[in-house]
Structure 1
Amino acid sequence: MDTSAYVKAVVEQTSTFADGVHGRDAAAPVPTCPEWTLADLVDHVGGTQRMVAMLVGEQMTEPSRAFAGHVPGPADSGRWRAWLSDGAAQASQAFASVSDDAPVWDPSGGAAGVPFWSRRLFGEVCVHRADAAAALGMPYELAPELAVAAIEDWLETLTSRGYWENRHGFADAMRGDGQSLHFHATDAPGEWVARREPDMVALERAHTKADVAVRGPAAELLLVISRRRPLDAAPTLEVLGDRALLEHWIDHMDWVTNG
């Protein structure tokens, strides 16, 4: 997916998210983000989209002003749909105003800027839709091709140089000497191999032998690797090889409430 496709999907997924949460109990707990209520979740999704709209639209190379400009969501859940839709529209307008090579800060360490943020906002709203579904007892559905793109975002972000350098607990847990994990979506093209090295997690898009492989529908795979569904509660996934290695990986995906 390119930037424009990601942004289009952000608007669509935000609309689905907004329809689901609109008018619901703001104090409802979010079991997949244990410290959050539904209001916190809405605040995070809409506030992040507005922050990124500022970063991208103003081509910021330093983020502090955008962070300081966080806009909280309305206390009245009856206003959530409009507020969330407006945040997605602001982000869409910001991306439409710049080129992919515009200088924009991002935390990946790869100076990806505009493309990074379009992909990140997409991955954010897809995963947080799952949080809302868990909070409200609703089913979660995501087209396989979109789930593959969200997995791509999750794995790209967590194996980025910036994540490694700033998440010391993750880096300490993930240091290795070549242990490998293969993630394989079976209902849309998508395969990745993550290899634990002493100073990084190397990510490849490949079909190759690994110490452990997990394969199954893309949406289920997304929910498990993002810790939105326990591995034991995902019967459509098949695990081949060193299950403990996969469980160790999932246990240290600590990017839950701030994902």
Structure 2
Amino acid sequence: MPTCGDWTLKQLFRHVGRGNRWAAQIILERRNQPLDPRDVRDGKPPDDPDAAADWLYHGAELISDAIDRVGAETRVWTFVGPRPAGWWIRRRLHEATVHRADAALALGVPFELSPDLAADALSEWIDRVSVDRRHGPALERGQSIHLHATDPELGPTGEWMIVHDEEGLWWSHDHGKGSVALRGPAKDLLLATVRRISVADADIEVHGDTAVWDGWLERTPF
């Protein structure tokens, strides 16, 4: 697969389905520590294609069921510290969205995504990156990135200003001037930001210091 290293589609399928079960089990067990993926219950899809499809769909249902049982505000472990259990719905939705793009790119078929979903996926990813320090700060101090979606229906939610200043790394939906600016459809901005396509292969205009953008990509693996 061009965007997932040496994975096959079968491995990607298993990754998404097991990932949903992994999140559901974290919620259901009210865990305050990560769960080893090898300990996920029913973590492998059946060999039968129809049963495997049911297994995939059921994994998403398990997350909703787990949240209903423990309560959406119950705090559980996440990548970015304890969060309400309901946090996992948005995280897993956008995880599956990006991996659906991986599958489409591997198969050479169009990837369709509504601008509002693409914009929310981008906001969710930037929000996570801004508090996740596992790979160091995504920007050097004094650097900034401005993303501008050209989809007219998004309004203010179609702009992202990401800044690293004396207060740390933060972002907002404000309009501003960044060290580098990218302008294009929300779907393309999302795929470029999570390193599924390059800006050269997308409908994106780039202005400013491209080294800042390259540094961001190096420090923010999906």
Q: 1:175 to 1:241 in 2, by over 3 A?
A: closer
Which residue number corresponds to residue 114 of structure 1? 85
Query: 1:88 — aligned with what?
Result: 60
Distance apart, 1:146 and its partner CA: 0.5
What's the RMSD between the two structures over aligned residues?
2.1
> Deviation of residue 229 (structure 1)?
0.7
Unaligned runs of 5+ in 2: none
Identify the residue that residue 46 of structure 2 maps to in structure 1: 74
Following the alignment from structure 1 to structure 2, what is the Cα–Cα distance between the partners of residues 44 and 200? Answer: 33
In the alignment, structure 1 segments of 5+ residues that lack a partner are 1-29
Aligned length: 217
Length-normalised TM-score, structure 2: 0.88
Secondary structure of the residue aligned to 1:127 is helix
Q: Give the direction of change, closer, same or farther, for the CA distance of 1:103–1:66 in structure 2 (3 Å limit).
A: farther
Q: SS at the partner of 1:32? A: coil
Distance 1:75 1:131 in 2: 22
The superposition leaves residues 178-231 of structure 1 with CA deviations (integer Å, 9 ceiling, x where unpaired) of 200011222123222212358953222211121111121111111100111111
Q: In the aligned structure 1, how far is the partner of 2:216 from the partner of 2:37?
A: 32
Q: Structure 1 residue 248: deviation in Å?
A: 2.2
Overall identity of the aligned pairs, in %: 37
The residue aligned with 1:204 is 172
Secondary structure, counterpart of 1:130 in structure 2: helix
2:2 is matched with which residue?
31
Matched residues in 1 for 2:124 and 2:22: separation?
19
Alignment of 1:207-246 (within 5 A): 207-234=175-202, 236-246=203-213
> Larger relative contact order (C-alpha < 8 A, sep ≥ 6)?
1
What is the CA distance between 1:116 and its match in structure 2? 2.4
Residues 39, 75 of structure 1: 8 Å contact kept:
no
- 2:17 is matched with 46
Answer yes or no: is 1:138 the counterpart of 2:109: yes
Separation in structure 1 between the aligned mates of residue 39 and residue 17 of structure 2, nearest angstrom: 15
Of 28, 32, 36, which residue of structure 2 is paired with 1:57? 28
- The farther-off stretch of 192-201 and 127-136 is 192-201
Give the whole-Å Cα distance in 2 for the aligned partners of 1:153 and 1:128: 15
Aligned pair partner of 2:145 in 181, 206, 209: 181
Within 1, Cα distance between the matches of 2:147 and 2:70?
A: 34
What's 1:22 paired with? none
